[in-house]
Amino acid sequence: MISIASRGPLWRCDNATRLLPATVAKRTFSTSPSWRLHTKEMEEETLGRLKVDKGRLMRDIHHTCQWGTGERWGDAPTETGMSRLALSDSDKEARAWFVRTTEEFGCEVTIDSMGNIFAVRPGLNNDQPPTFVGSHLDTQPSGGRYDGILGVHAGVEMLKVLNDNWVETQYPVGVVNWTNEEGARFPKSMVSSGVWSGDIPLEDAHNLKEVHPGNATMASELKRIGYLGDTPCSHESMPMAAHFELHIEQGPLLEIANKKIGVVTGVQAYKWLTVTVKGRDTHTGTTDLKSRADALLTASKMILHSHKLATANNALASTGILYLKPGSTNTVPGEVSFSLDIRSPNDATVTRMLSLITTDFPRIAAGENISGLNDGCTSALPLTVSIREDFNSPATTFHPRCIEAVGQAAHATLGPDSKNLVMEMTSGAGHDSVYASKRCPTSMVFVPCREGVSHNPSEFCKEEDCAAGAQVLLQSVLRFDRGRGE
């Protein structure tokens, strides 16, 4: 495994390998033998004939889901979720498959100091950065088979289609598996693309400790599973011409609107807060309502109020974690701490939400009747609240050229009725594309998932939707490559 930085235009054609089956061919590439398809010369019709193999794509996805199989939700062999935490033994197996497979398909593989794996397929012109397809192979502890996994597999399928059809791109193309996108094991999501973009210091990332109850760090686990690469994790060591990512929507909008492809124009802004309410533990049976400082009752009002603020401001507000102390049926909780995730496509709205929360929560804690929350309540003792901002991700706007490539690819893929099947949308979730977009043109392709459910074992994306998404991704890369240098 050598770094792309040390590479050169070292691929040469070996015509003999043309007769080998694509799945085993260890191929190299000429600079332009006449019998190759070149992206530069591709007409719409030729582009349209390059098709992903739906059966192969799905077989590959389910093949790698043998590593880290999760909870069962249906009777079919593939109807289980996934539980493949970053840098676990099962992640190591999935990574080994990715390295082995992409090398078999003629890629050079580079591993950086965050364990990001870059597989690069050479093009005609190899002194320019590759156009990348990227996503992640790690999952939530009770996640599904599509979040992240589909995006990486669509990249591998792209390599296979290019090889099957002897396509030579103008510039190299690559597939990247980003480490710990979920932030589920090491609690910072998209941390490795964040180091790559220069937004997160390497040392902070290396020192991230896994969540309770373990003690491993990212660095210790990277070392343990053999993925602490020599190449510095940086957009300078591994530059990208563009980054495209296929992902399930993880929400219901495409399904509700009966669309097949979402052309993603950006990612909404979000902040993660931790809210801590302090009252006083007291006995539930002996403390009359007005002598209480009930931290859970107060937190309940805040959670309800955050939802009302979100409704009024066309934003999102969600609490996914809540701890209370001391935790006994007959003791009024004296302390409650909860997460608050606020989002909007618009930075100003997130800022306004934060400002409203910062103003209103202390008033709710003090016992003021905000928006009628206290109507019908007993007025009781005052409490205190503290609000900590843990994470801030401003709104991301993707690159017009990438968005255009995805849009054209979507319409070309879906055919005559495409105007009814494609919609532009903003991503609600963060993705590695957020950090990638800080250093190169980026866009994403969304496909619908059943009832918008994700982060759940029963997360499901239909085979035809996976394939359509992979097809759009392939065409987006080829269209982008075709347009480079113009």
Among 284, 355, 359, 420, binds its own copies (CB under 8 A): 284
What is the footprint of its own copies within residues 166-205 (CB under 8 A)? 184, 189
Q: Which stretch binds its own copies (CB under 8 A): 232-240, 314-322, 348-356, 464-472?
A: 314-322
CB 169 within 8 A of CB 478: yes
| Residue 87 beta carbon to its own copies: minimum distance, rounded to whole angstroms | 18
Could you say whether residue 332 binds its own copies (CB under 8 A)? yes
Query: Taking the CA atoms of the chain, what radius of gyration do you get in angstroms?
Result: 25
| Residue 187 beta carbon to its own copies: minimum distance, rounded to whole angstroms | 8
Among 10, 312, 348, 366, binds its own copies (CB under 8 A): 312
Among 213, 329, 415, 486, binds its own copies (CB under 8 A): 329
Could you say whether residue 375 binds its own copies (CB under 8 A)? yes
Strand ranges (DSSP E) for 288-395? 316-318, 322-325, 331-332, 335-344, 384-393
Is-cis flag, bond preceding 201, omega within 30?
Answer: no
For its own copies, which is the closer residue by CB, 176 or 316?
A: 316
Which residue type, as a one-letter code, is found at position 218?
Answer: M
Residue 144 CA to residue 147 CA, distance in Å, equals 6
Could you say whether residue 213 binds its own copies (CB under 8 A)? no
| Residue 251 beta carbon to its own copies: minimum distance, rounded to whole angstroms | 3
Among 377, 382, 386, 463, binds its own copies (CB under 8 A): 377
Could you say whether residue 301 binds its own copies (CB under 8 A)? yes
For its own copies, which is the closer residue by CB, 320 or 400?
A: 320
What is the footprint of its own copies within residues 228-267 (CB under 8 A)? 249-253, 256
Measured in residues, the chain has a length of: 486
Residue 118 CA to residue 111 CA, distance in Å, equals 6
Could you say whether residue 141 binds its own copies (CB under 8 A)? yes
What is the footprint of its own copies within residues 89-118 (CB under 8 A)? none
Is-cis flag, bond preceding 213, omega within 30?
Answer: yes
Could you say whether residue 334 binds its own copies (CB under 8 A)? yes
What is the footprint of its own copies within residues 1-60 (CB under 8 A)? none
411 C-beta neighbours (distance < 10 Å), count: 19
Site string for its own copies, 386-425 (x = CB under 8 A): ----------------------------------------
> CA–CA distance from 19 to each of 61, 105, 168, 274, 452 (Å)?
27, 14, 17, 60, 44
Nearest Cα to Cα of residue 3 among 158, 120, 86: 120
3-state helix, strand, coil in the chain (%, to 5): 35, 20, 40
For its own copies, which is the closer residue by CB, 70 or 229?
A: 70
Tokens of 92: 């190591």
339 C-beta neighbours (distance < 10 Å), count: 15
Tokens 């400790």 identify what position? 209
Among 48, 239, 394, 452, binds its own copies (CB under 8 A): 452
